[in-house]
Amino acid sequence: MGRLFAVEIVYRGIFQKSLARNISRGIVLAAHREGKPGISFGRYGDSPERKGIPAKNFAIVATDDQTLEEGMAKYEPKEVDITIAVDDTLCKGVESWAWYGLQPINRLTKPGGTLLVTSRYEPEVLIEMAHRKEHHYQLAIVKGIPSFSGLWVYKDDHTDVRVLGAVAKVLPELVSLEAVQETILAEWKDPLKVTSAARSYERTTTITVQPAQGNPEKPFEFELLKWWEMREGVTIPSIARGGAFHDPETGQEGGYRPERNPTFKKFTTRTMRPVVDFDTCVKCTLCWLQCPDSCFDVTPDGLYDANMEACCGCGVCEAVCPVRDCVTMVNEMEFRDNHSQWEMWKKDNAGYKAWLQEKIQHRPERSHGFRYRGQYEKEVPEVLEAAGGK
Ligand code: SF4
Ligand code: SF4
Residue range 9-59, pLDDT digits in tens: 999 988 898 999 999 999 999 999 999 999 999 876 555 556 888 889 999
pLDDT at 184 over 70: yes
Residue nearest to atom 8 of ligand 1 (CA): 291
**Residue 364: pLDDT band by 50, 70, 90 thresholds?**
low
**Whether the CB of 58 sits within 6 Å of ligand 2:** no
Task: Pick the atom of ligand 1 nearest to 307's CA.
Answer: 7
Instruction: Determine the pLDDT at residue 369.
Output: 64
Ligand 2: centre distance to CA 341 (Å): 14
**Residue 356: pLDDT band by 50, 70, 90 thresholds?**
very high
Among residues 184, 218, 54, 153, which one has the least CA distance to residue 379? Answer: 153
Q: Which ligand is nearest to the CA of 296?
A: 1
Mean pLDDT for the chain overall? 90
pLDDT at 62 over 90: yes
Task: Pick the atom of ligand 2 nearest to 321's CA.
Answer: 1
Ligand 2: centre distance to CA 324 (Å): 10
Q: Which ligand is nearest to the CA of 327?
A: 2
Instruction: Determine the pLDDT at residue 47.
Output: 54
**Whether the CB of 276 sits within 6 Å of ligand 2:** yes
Q: Which ligand is nearest to the CA of 332?
A: 1
Instruction: Determine the pLDDT at residue 164.
Output: 98
Ligand 2 mutation pick, 256, 282, 325, max ligand atoms within 8 A of CB? 282
**Whether the CB of 287 sits within 6 Å of ligand 2:** yes
Output 221 or 87, whichever has higher pLDDT.
87
* Average pLDDT for 306-317: 93
Instruction: Determine the pLDDT at residue 386.
Output: 72
Output 200 or 248, whichever has higher pLDDT.
200
Ligand 1: centre distance to CA 313 (Å): 5
* Average pLDDT for 88-111: 87
pLDDT at 1 over 80: no
Percent of the chain predicted with pLDDT > 90: 66
* Average pLDDT for 182-205: 96
**What residues are paired with 297 via a beta bridge?**
305
Instruction: Determine the pLDDT at residue 93.
Output: 93
pLDDT at 389 over 60: no
Residue nearest to atom 3 of ligand 1 (CA): 291
Ligand 2: centre distance to CA 322 (Å): 7
**Whether the CB of 326 sits within 6 Å of ligand 2:** yes
**Residue 222: pLDDT band by 50, 70, 90 thresholds?**
confident
Q: Ligand 1: residues within 6 Å at CB?
A: 274, 291, 293, 295, 306, 311-317
Output 76 or 326, whichever has higher pLDDT.
326
**Residue 385: pLDDT band by 50, 70, 90 thresholds?**
confident
Ligand 2 mutation pick, 281, 305, 311, max ligand atoms within 8 A of CB? 281
Ligand 1 mutation pick, 309, 317, 330, 335, max ligand atoms within 8 A of CB? 317
Ligand 1: centre distance to CA 363 (Å): 15
| Structural contact between residues 287 and 304, judged by C-beta atoms closer than 8 angstroms | yes
Q: Specify the range with the lowest mean pLDDT, choosing from 40-44, 271-275, 295-299, 381-385.
A: 381-385
Ligand 2 mutation pick, 294, 299, 304, max ligand atoms within 8 A of CB? 304
pLDDT at 152 over 80: no
Instruction: Determine the pLDDT at residue 381.
Output: 81
**Whether the CB of 285 sits within 6 Å of ligand 2:** yes
**Whether the CB of 286 sits within 6 Å of ligand 2:** yes
pLDDT at 142 over 90: yes
Instruction: Determine the pLDDT at residue 223.
Output: 85
* Average pLDDT for 108-124: 96
Q: Specify the range with the lowest mean pLDDT, choosing from 10-24, 105-119, 184-198, 246-260.
A: 246-260
Task: Pick the atom of ligand 1 nearest to 273's CA.
Answer: 1
Instruction: Determine the pLDDT at residue 368.
Output: 67
Instruction: Determine the pLDDT at residue 250.
Output: 81
* Average pLDDT for 335-353: 95
Per-residue pLDDT tens over the stretch 189-198: 999 999 999 9
Ligand 2: centre distance to CA 333 (Å): 24
